[in-house]
Amino acid sequence: MPKIKTHKGAQHRFHITGRGKILRVKGPKSHLRLHKAKRTRRLFDTMVPISPSDKARIKKLLPYGVK
């Protein structure tokens, strides 16, 4: 069987943990960041898990990264 190609955009946007969770970065992270409050800027630094409805779609984009 031929190998399935990894979607490079998804590879940069999502992080797979050791237990198989898929994490993503929050939205408007860098645009006009200096004008935002410090608390808001801190909240954008953390990665959050994706919604369960998106998991199957991202699994197809990252065939070898998701458990």
Domains of the chain plus CATH, in order, are: 8-58 (4.10.410.60)
Q: Per-residue pLDDT tens for 44-67? A: 888 999 999 999 999 999 988 765
Alpha-helical regions (H) of 1-67: 8-13, 38-43, 55-61
Phi, psi for 25 (deg, rounded to 5): -95, 145
Residue 49 pLDDT: 95
Residue 39 pLDDT: 92
Say yes or no to pLDDT of 22 above 90: yes
Cα–Cα distance measured from residue 66 to residue 62, given in angstroms and rounded to the nearest whole number = 6
Tell me the CA distances in angstroms from 51 to 4, 8, 15, 24, 48, one per residue in order.
24, 20, 14, 10, 9
Say yes or no to pLDDT of 33 above 90: no
**What is the 8-class DSSP label of residue 18?**
T
